[in-house]
Structure 1
Amino acid sequence: MKTTATFRRRQRGSVSIIVAVSLIALLGILGLAVDSGLGYMIKARLDAATDGAVIAAGEAVTRGANQTEQTNNAQQAATAFFAANYPAGFLGSSVTAGTPSIVFNGGTVTIGMNAQASVPVSFTKVLGFKVLNVSASSQAIRKTLDMAFVIDTTGSLNSSGVPAAVRSNAVAFLNNFDVTNDRVALMHFAYGTVVDVPFNGDARGFDRTTMTADINKYTFNGSTNSAEAIWNARNQLNTVITQPSSLRVIVFFSDGAPNSFSSFFTTNQSGCNNTAGTIASPDSPGTMSGLYNMNALNQTLGSPCFQSNVTKLVTAMPKWYNAHNVNEQTFPIWPVSAPRAVPNGTITYVNVNRASRNLLEAMASAARDEGTYVFTLGYGPELVQPAGPDNELGQDLLKCMANTADSLSRCYNPKQPVGVYCYAATPADLKPCFSQLASQILRISK
């Protein structure tokens, strides 16, 4: 009996040891589960904070007149964004964020950031662990950018408060881009297009000071020859620059649909047949005028190559847009059946307006075929009111230019770059619209 009792006591002792060991193991497993979950949450927050920090730095690196200023701005933005998105003591952790690295290399800016967080463990102490260490590393590469910035300065914008709002917000828009690495060309248009500041060949950077001065001198008058503006934007991107950046953009601001276009026209004055000019149509059926200088904002070609009633001078439109090369046959004017019928070369209100709109859409589509994003900003009530010979909405043309998903079904092409259209109903709406376009461009540049 004594032997049996001793055996039972020993058996109970063994069970106690097994239970104790099992309890320690269970606590370890529970600790791993709890502390691993804690580590996962800290890791996720740390990754998000460093990712956001390098993106913020990518936007801030555009600010500054030289690389030293740009580096400081980028690092400050990254540090501030990280601190805002990883609160001190998050889940009991302590964090150390490294100084963001900013590397400029041939127009590309590479931004990197590392961070580490430590948190005391709870249950896994029984396994000998005291601290859980988590790290994160993020990198963003800001692409090189070539941008043609096109501003409508036609007479319909010359109303109270609008010119000042256009000038100030266009200048603010340029402040979002890197003067040492981004390439920007500036132009404005009415009857013709003036390239204020062209691209400087393949040299990186742009002269924001000169552009600001030019914009602040803009006057607003004349008719809407949008196609000529887009032609110049494409020409700057395709011929002035021989080594394109990885991101190419046209930003186009206007308050209405085009009603004018340029070409070499057949005239009844022999001295005018070798001069390209612009025919301008009124906003409603009436007398068309021309020819205007296609390289100036609001300037006629003078006698005998200008008539207030251009049908007394021009006898027919060319079959192809040829304003810069009389033999060019890229964009048809007539005969055209779609999207707007231009059945012949007769100078009529309907034909001139339809040809103007067809050329604008065709040139924007050609730019997108070349891999260029088109961003459009439309201003004012005229854009959302039916107008022209076909009672079209001006904003539909701007959406078609940008290739937005909500554009007309005949326009949207998902195989081409999809841009952004923003509508500003009032002068106060110009600021958020310009900001939206800048934000979207900077987003796709990463």
Structure 2
Amino acid sequence: MRTLPRQRGQITLIAALTMIGLAGIVGLAVDAGMAYVTKARLNAAVDSAAVAAARAVTNGTTQAQQTAAAQQAASDFFHANFANGYLRGTPTLNTPTVQFEQGKVTISVSATSTMPLTLLKVLGFNNVAVAANSTTIRKDLDMVFVIDSSGSMNPVWSTVRSNANSFLNQFSPTTDRVGLVHFSSGAVSDIAIRTTQRGFDRPAMQTKITGLSNGGYTNYAEGLWQARAQLDSITQTNRSSLRVIVFFSDGRPNTLAATYPLNGNRTCAGGIMVEGENDTSPAGYMAPDQQDTTLSGNCNGVTGNKVPSQMPTYYNVHNAADKEFLIVGSKPKTVTASTNGTDLARNVYRAATNVPLAMASSMRDAGIYIFTLGLDGNGGFDADLLRNMANTADASQYNNKQPSGVYCYAATINDLRPCFAKLASEILRISR
């Protein structure tokens, strides 16, 4: 009976040790769970901060300004997504790093949160530091911005130019290459894309857009041809990993340029404009590399002996020997060689749609993304054509083997700015 107190003491000690062990196990489960939740929230916060920084890095005209803008955006988004005191933690955002290298921008964001422990304190542990990091690489970009400047734009032209200039603010003047083309009856390469040096002169391009006038018909093919010529002027070794055309219009294509054969072994290399398939008075011939200029001499009209003897077989206005894009026999609309009566208007009008479709497909085969924006309310446009040019998933001719861009529909002029913002956002998304 004398050993009873000693046994009781041993039992008490064992029970105490067991309770401490159980408290440690429970504490480990509770605190590990809190650390897991903190880690997940911290990961999301640094990810959002890195993405925000990649978007903001285009702000400013120097790398120092762009770095500051990216770091500020990262800080704002991090603290918005991980507030001080979340699960009693104290977050610390390290200074984000921004590296510029041959057109690419690498942004790294890292952070920690020191979280006080609860039940594990019984084992002598007071807090734990949870860490997370994220890296976003903004790819190098070659982009040509193609703007419709036809006569139908007149009621909204000032707003169009303002929104186009705002669109350019989304791209980096030190790393992104950007060229500018505007088109109506013909197309003008306003500012050529740089072929070796990175960046673009954003103020000069915005000044050019502000000074553009509008007038003429609508020639999609020439706008695309000039855009492709700019992108292809960059040699293979100097091209960016992301090549993009942004194409904006408010109307249906109704002008087709080619080297038209005339009776008497003569030709006129210019564009013919029609009001529709049944137009009895086609106009032309228009200079393909000017906005709205009629050719002179024997090509200053489409009447009498200046009416084409037949439709050209190929799109060949820039070189009579070109055979890349069909006119006669092109698809999806039937185009014949006849120019009798209203056959000329019908074939020109249909080919004015077929040729840009073929051009867009060829460019996508070369890895070029095409983004399109259609503005309604100024006479109507062909939404299906713009979808097919962009190769969106809902396009009637969608090709899953080619890059898929984005088409945005602006029902009114008030929808133009959101559409431009959407296109810029999608371009930045695929550049990461």
Q: What residue is the counterpart of 1:156 in the other structure? A: 152
Separation in 1, partners of 2:98, 2:17: 53
Q: Does residue 137 in structure 1 map to residue 118 in structure 2?
A: no
Residues 199 and 241 of structure 1 are in contact (CA less than 8 Å); yes or no, is this contact kept in structure 2? no
Q: What residue is the counterpart of 1:442 in the other structure? A: 428
Q: 411, 414, 425: which is aligned to 2:411?
A: 425
Q: 290, 296, 300: which is aligned to 1:296?
A: 290
SS at match of 1:276: strand
Residues 269 and 313 of structure 1 are in contact (CA less than 8 Å); yes or no, is this contact kept in structure 2? no
Q: Does residue 127 in structure 1 map to residue 123 in structure 2?
A: yes
Residues 218 and 254 of structure 2 are in contact (CA less than 8 Å); yes or no, is this contact kept in structure 1? yes
Moved more, 13-22 or 393-402: 13-22
SS at match of 2:356: helix
Residues 263 and 305 of structure 2 are in contact (CA less than 8 Å); yes or no, is this contact kept in structure 1? no
| Amino acid in structure 2 at the alignment position of 1:196 | D
Residue-by-residue CA offset, 1:78-118 (whole Å, 9 max, x unaligned) = 11111111111111111111111111111111111211110
| CA drift at 1:60 | 1.0
Separation in 2, partners of 1:370, 1:310: 42
Separation in 1, partners of 2:429, 2:144: 17
Relative distance call for 1:114 and 1:262 in structure 2 (3 A) is: same
| CA drift at 1:339 | 1.2
For residues 22-421 of structure 1, the aligned pairs below 5 Å read: 22-159=18-155, 162-242=156-236, 243-268=238-263, 273=267, 276-283=269-276, 285-286=278-279, 287-309=281-303, 312-336=306-330, 338-346=331-339, 348-381=344-377, 394-408=382-396, 411-421=397-407
Residues 291 and 305 of structure 1 are in contact (CA less than 8 Å); yes or no, is this contact kept in structure 2? yes
| TM-score normalised by L of structure 1 | 0.92
Residues 334 and 345 of structure 1 are in contact (CA less than 8 Å); yes or no, is this contact kept in structure 2? no
SS at match of 2:360: helix
Residue-by-residue CA offset, 1:209-240 (whole Å, 9 max, x unaligned) = 22111111111111111011111111111234
| CA drift at 1:21 | 2.1
Relative distance call for 1:372 and 1:169 in structure 2 (3 A) is: same
| CA drift at 1:345 | 4.5
Residues 102 and 110 of structure 1 are in contact (CA less than 8 Å); yes or no, is this contact kept in structure 2? yes
Residues 103 and 140 of structure 2 are in contact (CA less than 8 Å); yes or no, is this contact kept in structure 1? yes
SS at match of 2:87: helix
Residue-by-residue CA offset, 1:301-343 (whole Å, 9 max, x unaligned) = 023212154884321221111122211111111123x311113
| CA drift at 1:344 | 2.5
| Amino acid in structure 2 at the alignment position of 1:403 | N
Separation in 2, partners of 1:158, 1:88: 53
Residues 186 and 271 of structure 2 are in contact (CA less than 8 Å); yes or no, is this contact kept in structure 1? yes
SS at match of 1:304: helix
Residues 382 and 394 of structure 1 are in contact (CA less than 8 Å); yes or no, is this contact kept in structure 2? no
Q: What residue is the counterpart of 1:389 in the other structure? A: none
Relative distance call for 1:239 and 1:269 in structure 2 (3 A) is: farther
Identity of aligned residues (%): 47
| CA drift at 1:51 | 1.1
User: Aligned-residue CA RMSD in angstroms?
Assistant: 1.8
SS at match of 1:22: helix
SS at match of 2:34: helix
Structure 1: 5+ residue runs without aligned partners? Answer: 386-392
Relative distance call for 1:423 and 1:309 in structure 2 (3 A) is: farther
Residues 221 and 298 of structure 1 are in contact (CA less than 8 Å); yes or no, is this contact kept in structure 2? yes
Separation in 1, partners of 2:52, 2:226: 33
